[in-house]
Structure 1
Amino acid sequence: MESKYLLKFLFIFLILFSSNSYSKTPKDQLIIGMSMNNIFTIDPAAMASNDTVSIISNLYDSLIELDATDRTKILPAIAKSWDISEDSSKITFHLRDDVKFNSGNPLTAEDVVWSIERLLKLNLSQSTFWKTYGFSAKNISELVKSIDNFTIEITLPQATDPKLVMYSIGALGSMSILDKNEILKHEQDNDLGNKWLTTNAAGSGAYYLTKWEAKNMLIMARNEHYWKGTPKMKRIIMRHMTESQSLRLMMEKGDIDIASGMSVPDIKALSNNPNITIESVQRGTLYYVALSNKNKYFANPKVREAIRYLIDYQGINATIMPGFGILHQRPIQKGMPATLPDQGYTLNVEKAKKLLSEAGYPDGFDTTIRVLSDTPFIDIATTIQATLVQAGIKAKVIAGTGNQIYGAMRERNFDIVVGRGGGGVEPHPHANLRSMVYNPDNSDEAKLTPYIGWRSSFYDDKLNKMIETALIERNETKQTQLYKDIQNYYDELFPAVITISQMIDSVAVQKDILNYKSHPSATTRYYLVEKKR
C-alpha cells in the first residue's frame, strides 16, 4: 500500500518540479536540495561525510545526543540515564524499554553491543574514534557488555577523559543503534550486512528509508510510532543538486525548502529575500595548510616559519571564506574555554624572505600545492600560490578529487596540502589536537592516517606527552591551563600544519519552516520540523 502512495506522490512531485509553477512545496513534505557527491553508502559503519551523517541521524537512534545550541550539554536518547565510575574507567548506560525498530523488533542492549562490535569487526571509517580510545576487534567483546536487556557497560581500555568519550558517542553518528536480527537476515559472506546496508537501513529513527538513488534522490518516510512522538513531516526528500545557481533559483521559486552547498554570491543574494533566512552554524572543523616534513625544505623550521608569513589570512577570510569559514589561527576550535586568542599573523613578505635567506634559500625553491578542485579550497590554494611566489617559492597547484588529494596525503606523498579537517566534532580541545597535532609514532609503518600530524611527518615527543597529560587531568581548571600551554608550545615549534580558518556551514531555509536547527556536529534531526502555512 505504501508503494502505491509513494508512486502517486512521485508522479505529482515530478510534475511540480518540471513546471514553471511558483507554488510552494507540499505542506507535509520537506524538500532539501544538496550535493550527494560524497554519499557513497548509508551504512553507519562506513559513512565518510557530514552529508551522510545528517541522513543517518534521522534513520537511526543513538545512545545519547548533543544539544544543537550547546554541544557540551548531553541529552538522553535511547539511554535514559548513565553513570560514570569514580575512577572514570567505566560508563554504564540505562536504556529505554519501550523502543522498537522499524521492523517491529524490540531494541535491547544486545542490539547496542552488537552495533559497537560490528564497527570494530568491519574496521571501516567509523571505527576510527573507537580505536583512538584503545578499543579493537580483539578486546571489544570484553570491554562492551550487556548487563541485562536494558543496561550496557563500557569499560575504557586506557586512561582518557570520559567526558570526551561521551561527546564522541553523541556527536559522530557512528553510535547508531542497528537492528541486529533484521540485518543478519541480509548478511553475505560474513559481511555483517554491509553490502545490504549500502542502500538500505534498519534503525529505530524518526524516519525510515523508502528510496535512494545515488546522486539523484533520497526519500525518508516518517515513523508513525516513533518513541519521541510522531514526526511533523510525512516525508523528507533530498535531491541531488550541485549547481549553486539552480539551488538559488529553486529556493526563490519555493520549489525546495532547504538548500545547502551554495556559493557566496548566491548566499548573499538569498539573504536579501524576505521569504528566506540564511542559517550559519560554526563547526569545529578547521581549514589548514599542511607542509610535509619529509620534504627537505619544510623539515627546516625557518622555512616553516617563513611560510607562516606568506599566507594572507585576513585577505583569504575576507574575500574567499564568507559563508565557508572565519579567521582562526589556533589548533583548537573557537568557543572552548581553553582556546587562546589568535596570534595575529599577517602576510609579511619581507620577513619571510629574511627567514628563507637564513635557512639557506635566498632565491626560494620549487614545490607543489595539492588541493580539492572545489570552492573554497582551490581559491585558497591559488591565493597562497600568488603570495609564495613573492618570496621566490614557485608552487605548482595540483587540483583533484578527495581520493587524489587526501589519498596522497595519507601516503605521506605531498609537499603542501590545502585542506579541511582537524577533528572538532566533539566540543573538547582534544578532539582537534588528536586529529591536527598528535603523532605518537612517526614511522611510515604506523599508518596513523587519521592524524594530520602523522600525515605531515611532524613529531615532537614533548608535545605528545603534554597532550596525553592534559587529556587525563581531572581538575578542569588545571586541564584548561594545560591546553593553553600546549597551544603556546606548539606555536613555538613552527608547526607543519598552519590553521587559517574555522568552518562555517551556511544553509538557506524558507521562512515558513519551523524548528529547523542545523547541528554543529552535522547530526541535524528533522522530527520536530514543520511548516507554518
Structure 2
Amino acid sequence: MKTKFSTLHLGLLTAMLTLGPMTLAQAKTPADQLIVGMSMVNLFSIDPANAPGLDASGVNANLYDTLIKRDQGNPEKHLPQLAERWEISEDGKQVTFHLRQDVKFHSGNPLTAEDVAWSLYRVMKLNFGLATTWKAYGYSVDNIQSLIRASDAHTLVIDLPQTMDPLLLVDSLAISPSAVVVDRKTALTHEKNGDLGAGWLVTNEAGSGPFVLTKWSANDSLLLTRFDGYWGGAAKLKRVVVRHMTESQSLRLMLERGDLDLAYGMAAPDIRAIDGSDKIQVQSLPRGTMYYVAMSMKQPEFAKTKVREAVRNLIDYQGLDQQVMPYYGKLNQQPMQLGLAARLPDPGYHMDVPQAKKLLSEAGYPEGFTTTIRTLSEPPFIDIAARLQATLAEGGIKASIVTGTGNQVYGAMRARNFEIIVARGAERYPHPYFSLRTFAYNPNNSDDAGLPNFQGWRASFFNEQINSLIDQAGVERDSARRLSLYHQAQTLYDQQVGPILMISQMTDTVVSAADVKGFTGDDAEATRYLGVYKQR
C-alpha cells in the first residue's frame, strides 16, 4: 500500500510540474518539499566531466560527493567528506587519501578508491574543458592512471607529476566540478562507442550524494528525491523541485503567494520591493566568479593594445555598479577576488570618451569600427551589454548585441569564435593563484590546445612573463615572496591591457520564504539542500 501511495504521489507531482504557473498557483508548497524557481537556460549538461557552469554545480553538489570540501570561505582549510583523513608526504610529491568504508552509490554499488581514480581518469580521457585543471598540474591521459591510483579498496594514492604546492591539488579536489566521484560500474553500463557513459550522464547521474535525480526536462523542471541511504544521514526534505522560470516578476509573485519556497536570479527592482517583508528572507551570497567584458585578440582590432585600452575607457564602471549591479555584484576591477591579501587595489578605471577616441585614432580607427557583443538575454548580462553598447557608441564603436542560450554564448567563447562578450565566470572560491591562472594564464595559444577553462586562452591572450610569474607563485612556499609574485602579475596584466576587463564580483541574492530554515548558500554555488527544512 505504501508503495502504491508513493508512486501515485510522484505521478501527481510530475503532472504538477508540467502545468503552467496559473495551475501551479492553486496549491501551496508541501511541507516536505522545497520548490525552487530559477532560470535553467544555462543548464545543458550535468556530466561532471563536462558541466562547468554554476547551475550545473548547484545540481551536482546534491547528486555527488567529493573526497573533501573546503571550509566555507577559508581557502587553506579542508574538511573530510568521502575521505576521512589524508596525508602529504614530506617531500610534497604524494598525497594519500583514506576513504570511508560505509558509502554506497545510488545504485547500491559500494564506493571505492577505484571509482575515485576512474572518475579523474574519465575527465582526462573525455578531454572537455574541465580537464584543463588537471592538465595544468601535469596530468595527461597517458600518465594519470599510473599517478592517481587505488592501492586498496579504500586508499587513494596521488603522485604529483611536477613540482608544485600540493595544497593546490588538494584544493582542486575540494572545489573543482570535475572532482566529484562517479559510480564507475553504472556509468560503464551506459557506455556507447567508448564514451565512458558521457552521452547518458548529460541528463542522468551516477552519484552518492544526498539526493537522486528523478526527473529532468530541459528548460522546464528538475526533480531531486531524497536518498535515504546517504552516508551522511538522510536529508530532511523528501524532494527538491526546480522549475524553470526566467521572469523575475513571476518569481516575486509566486514567492509572495506562497507557491515558491526559494528563488534564484530575481531582478534588483523585484528584490527591493519585497526586501524587509516578514514573510520573505533575502540572503546575499558572495561568489568568487566575476562579471566581465572580454575581447578576442584573434580579431585584428582587439589585437591592438590601444584598441583594448580604448574599450577599457568606454566602460561606465561606476554607473554599472550603482545602477545595474546592486543584488548582482560588487565593483571589482582586478582579476582576483575581493578580500584577498594578494589582491592589489582597484586601478581606478573610469569612463573617458576623449581619451578613448584619441586611442582609437592612434590605432588607425579614427571613425571607429563595427563589432558584436554576445551575451545571455537575462539580467544583469543583457543590461550590462546594453550599457556597453551605448558607451562604446560614444567612442565610435558600433556594436550589435547577439543573445543566445548559455551553450551558444559560452560555446562561442570556448571555441574562440567571438568579438566581444559580456559573461560571468572564473574560479569560484577565493584563492589568488586560481584567480590569476583563470584570467591571465595561457600556456599554449594555439587553437587546437583545447584549454577553455583558461579564460585567457579563450580570449587569445598570451604573455610569457605573466605565465612565469603565476607558475612561480604556484610552487613558492615563502609567503612574502609569493605575495610579491601575485602583485607583479596583476601589475603586468594592467600594463598589457589584458582583454578580459573585470566589471563586478558576483553577489548571488537568494530570496526565500521565511519558513525555510537551514539554507546556507555556498560561496561557489554548490549549495547542498541536505540540512534544509521548513518550520511550520
- Distance, in Å, in 2 between the alignment partners of 1:168 and 1:387 is 39
Q: Which residue in 2 is equivalent to 1:446? A: 449
Aligned length: 532
Q: 1:406 to 1:23 in 2, by over 3 A?
A: closer
The percent of aligned pairs where both chains have the same amino acid is 49
Aligned AA (2:433): H
Out of 462, 483, 486, the position equivalent to 1:483 is 486
Does structure 2 retain, via aligned residues, the 8 Å contact 1:161–1:471? yes
Q: Which residue in 2 is equivalent to 1:74? A: 78
Q: CA deviation at 1:14?
A: 5.9
3-state SS of the aligned residue for 1:174?
A: helix
Q: CA deviation at 1:26?
A: 1.7
Does structure 2 retain, via aligned residues, the 8 Å contact 1:172–1:425? no
Q: CA deviation at 1:338?
A: 0.6
Matches within 5 A, 1:257-272: 257-272=261-276
Aligned AA (1:283): R
Task: Answer with 495-504 or 373-382: which moved more.
Answer: 373-382
Q: CA deviation at 1:186?
A: 3.2
Does structure 2 retain, via aligned residues, the 8 Å contact 1:172–1:521? no
Out of 501, 512, 517, the position equivalent to 2:515 is 512
Q: Which residue in 2 is equivalent to 1:248? A: 252
Aligned AA (2:289): T
Out of 516, 527, 532, the position equivalent to 1:524 is 527
Does structure 1 retain, via aligned residues, the 8 Å contact 2:75–2:431? no
Out of 445, 459, 465, the position equivalent to 1:456 is 459
Task: Answer with 432-441 or 3-12: which moved more.
Answer: 3-12
Unpaired runs of at least 5, structure 1: none
Q: 1:38 to 1:366 in 2, by over 3 A?
A: closer
Q: Which residue in 2 is equivalent to 1:465? A: 468
- Distance, in Å, in 1 between the alignment partners of 2:42 and 2:418 is 23
Q: 1:102 to 1:319 in 2, by over 3 A?
A: same
Aligned AA (1:523): A
Matches within 5 A, 1:27-38: 27-38=31-42
Q: 1:329 to 1:5 in 2, by over 3 A?
A: same
Out of 192, 196, 214, the position equivalent to 2:196 is 192
- Normalised by the length of structure 1, the TM-score is 0.93
Out of 130, 134, 137, the position equivalent to 1:126 is 130
Out of 490, 494, 499, the position equivalent to 1:496 is 499
Q: Which residue in 2 is equivalent to 1:164? A: 168
- Normalised by the length of structure 2, the TM-score is 0.92
Matched, 1:387 2:388: no
Q: 1:65 to 1:399 in 2, by over 3 A?
A: same
Does structure 2 retain, via aligned residues, the 8 Å contact 1:293–1:457? yes
Aligned AA (1:148): D
Task: Tell me the alpha carbon deviations over residues 48-84 of structure 1, each in whole angstroms, 9 at most, x when there is no partner.
Answer: 4222211211112110112334454311101011112
Task: Answer with 306-315 or 270-279: which moved more.
Answer: 270-279
Out of 231, 236, 245, the position equivalent to 1:227 is 231
State the Cα RMSD in Å.
2.4
- Distance, in Å, in 1 between the alignment partners of 2:329 and 2:323 is 11
Aligned AA (1:11): L
Unpaired runs of at least 5, structure 2: none
- Distance, in Å, in 2 between the alignment partners of 1:204 and 1:398 is 40
Q: 1:138 to 1:103 in 2, by over 3 A?
A: same
Q: Which residue in 2 is equivalent to 1:405? A: 409
Out of 180, 184, 196, the position equivalent to 1:180 is 184
Does structure 2 retain, via aligned residues, the 8 Å contact 1:168–1:426? no
Q: CA deviation at 1:397?
A: 2.9
Out of 369, 373, 386, the position equivalent to 1:369 is 373
3-state SS of the aligned residue for 2:394?
A: helix
Q: 1:265 to 1:204 in 2, by over 3 A?
A: same
